[in-house]
A and B are shown apart, each in its own frame.
Chain A
Amino acid sequence: MTGLYDHFAAHADRSPEAPALIWEGETISYGELHAMAEEAHAELDGANLPEDRPVGLRARKSPRAIALVLAALRSNRPFLLPSVELAPETLAKLFAQAGASRVLEPHGPRSESTSLRAIGDPSADIDSDEPSHWPPAEGADGVSFMLTTSGSTGLPKVVPLPAEAVDRFTDWAAEQFEIGPGRVVANYAPLNFDLCLLDIWTTLKHGGTVALVDQDKATQSAYLAELVDGAKVDVLQAVPMLYRLLLDVAREASRDFPNVKHVITTGDKIPPSTLEALPELFPNARFYNIYGCTETNDSFIHEFEGLADGDVPANVPIGKPLPGVKTLILTEDGPALEGTGTGELLVWTPFQTRGYLNTSLNAEKFGAHPLGEPELTYYRSGDIVQVHENGTLTLEGRADFYVKVRGVRVSTQVVEQAILEHPDVVECAVVAVPDELAGKKLHAVIRREPDSKLNSLTLRKHCAERLARTEMPSTIEFVTEPLPKTSTGKVDRKRVLAQLEEMSHAHG
């Protein structure tokens, strides 16, 4: 079976002049990228690293970084590709956990020198008390990419992906979005994100061109608009924020992007106000929402029909399973859901990992299920979904956010959404605090606009129009300091709760 690298090399042989990457306004051809990858591979090969151990890559997005990943693929060596933004200590732990023999980084994005740089003393770089979990209990066979989850607390989890799984995914994506020679795919996500399996790795496997967004300019809307326009992007996959940014420019300069043919939103719920403006921004495009995660890769797709006619769903459907994807929806009481209703989504995909590298984490997320198809290892998504009559699914919230208040199941996420709809609210967290009588009570912590007169009464009036009585917070607290955040910038409810518990102990 020929893998991703062989396909890439075959394109380079056939059409060395074809553009592989667009970076900082310059084009790097397949021939050039191939030469860079071969050089990096020769160096990797010459380092005499143990065959059966992974390498760690510390690679900020650049052509050299992409060549380095290609070199690792060429050597059939597993490689851990974590976020370069992580703290050095966290990175060291991750590399140690992955059993990396060496950590490599590309030596300057466009420098003349092609040498890979082992960071410092290779043994020191991986110096950490963190035990190695390599090889994975489920088998090291054919593992290529090892990505990490963006866990909010603790060490990110390492997700080893078998090369075959990556191959199946990149073939699906190429067919679905017509990715091949002559097609330009924008890459917005950082290099360590699973989204790159679509926009970078599918494209290079199938002979297309990747227009790379410089990570340092990812929030500059004029730069982004110029890239989409200048590179003549055909396929665009990004989190909703990119579309928000492009809209800002487009509205100011009344411009649009008629060349774009496929627009994919993923990673987060797209706000209706952004969604409804997409057809005006991309007059010739088809629009999709993709649902997935690092563990399973993409599992659901929804194509929006009739956005241009104002058919804008408030709750964006995650749509229907990708070909080959199996699902199981468990209702609260246990049995599998048949027909319409609500439950937690379990999913198996042809693209998924065999399990986390740290197998002790697998028990609660991966496993066969007596109600599912035998021999399939399902992934517990933690997402509560609603199944509609036409078979389409919508997300109702995270299972983690459901709490029982006086015996009634309430999603703290739904309550937060309602509070956030108040224009004076900057951010908020709703947590369930233990209560002697009620078991749990909802407590809302709210940061309001600096000069806002919002108080608990006006907020309650606002919420009463949007929430059921059981969803109404029992206590409301206003704060002036920003709420604690996770590493990905989301409000950290666990820390909010921990702070509350500390306070209540302090006050007896």
Chain B
Amino acid sequence: MDDTERKIKQFIVDEFMPDVSVDELDSDFDLLTGGVVDSLGLLQVVAWLESEFDVAVDDSQLGPESFRTVEAIKQYVEQAKETSSA
């Protein structure tokens, strides 16, 4: 697990599932279907991503698909970083 992934998991666990340990949360677990993150929770995730990774999230990209799993969030962050550094 790389640093970004661990940070994302830690945030989700702290915010939404305090009784769960980071290691239990699989990267491909569907956070939306599992009811962990709902549409309002999504806004929390986005706000955190923006401050933590210093990326800008365009409202038009705010589709739930980008944030369905930890893996998807990680990819989103990595892409956003590349775009801003390019």
**A505 lies within 8 A of chain B by Cβ:** no
A380 lies within 8 A of chain B by Cβ: no
B71 at interface by CB-CB < 8 Å: no
Q: Is the CB of A455 within 8 A of B19?
A: yes
Interface residue from B25, B32, B33, B39 paired with A457 (Cβ < 8 Å):
B25
A100 at interface by CB-CB < 8 Å: no
- Does A490 interact with chain B (Cβ within 8 Å)? no
CB distance B35 to A469 under 8 Å?
A: yes
Q: For the complex, count residues of B whose C-beta is within 8 A of A.
A: 15
Contact present for B40 and A438 (CB under 8 Å) = yes
Give the secondary structure class of A's interface: mixed
Give the chain B neighbours of A464 by CB distance below 8 A.
Answer: 30, 33-35
Of the 9-residue stretches A201-209, A273-281, A471-479, which lies at the interface with chain B? A471-479
Q: Which of B36, B39, B40 contacts A460 (CB 8 A)?
A: B36
Judge if B50 is at the interface, Cβ distance under 8 Å.
no
| Contact residue among B19, B25, B38 (Cβ-Cβ distance under 8 Å from A474) | B38
- Separation of A406 and B30 alpha carbons in the complex (Å): 20
B56 cross-chain contacts in A, Cβ below 8 A: none
Contact across chains for A455 and B24 when beta carbons are under 8 A apart: yes
Q: A438-B38, A455-B20, A455-B24 are in contact. List 10 more A-B contacts (CB 8 A).
A: A406-B38, A406-B39, A455-B17, A463-B34, A464-B30, A469-B35, A472-B34, A472-B35, A474-B35, A474-B38
A457 touches B24 (CB 8 A): yes
**A437: which B residues are within 8 A, CB to CB?**
40
What are the residues of chain B within 8 A of A406 when measuring CB–CB?
38-39
Classify the secondary structure of B's interface with A. Answer: loop
Asked if B34 and A461 make an inter-chain contact with CB atoms under 8 angstroms apart, the answer reads: yes
Tally chain A residues at the interface, Cβ within 8 Å: 18
Q: Which of A422-453 contact B (CB under 8 A)?
A: 437-438
Chain A interface (Cβ within 8 Å of chain B)?
Answer: 406, 437-438, 455-458, 460-461, 463-464, 467, 469, 472-474, 476, 478
Q: By the criterion CB–CB under 8 Å, are B24 and A463 in contact?
A: no
Give B1-57 interface residues, CB cut-off 8 Å to A: 17, 19-20, 24-25, 29-30, 32-36, 38-40
Cβ of A455 to closest chain B Cβ, rounded Å: 5
Instruction: Note all chain B residues with C-beta closer than 8 A to A478.
Output: 19
B33 to chain A, nearest CB (A): 5
Chain A residues near B19: list those with CB within 8 A. 455-456, 476, 478
17 sampled A-B residue pairs with Cβ under 8 A: A406-B39, A437-B40, A455-B20, A457-B29, A458-B24, A460-B34, A461-B34, A463-B35, A464-B34, A464-B35, A467-B35, A469-B33, A469-B35, A472-B34, A473-B35, A474-B35, A474-B38
Measured between C-beta atoms, what is the minimum distance from B60 to chain A in Å? 22
What's the least CB distance linking A405 to chain B, in Å? 9
Q: Which residues of A contact B25 (CB under 8 A)?
A: 457
Alpha-carbon distance between A460 and B32 when the two chains are bound, in angstroms: 10
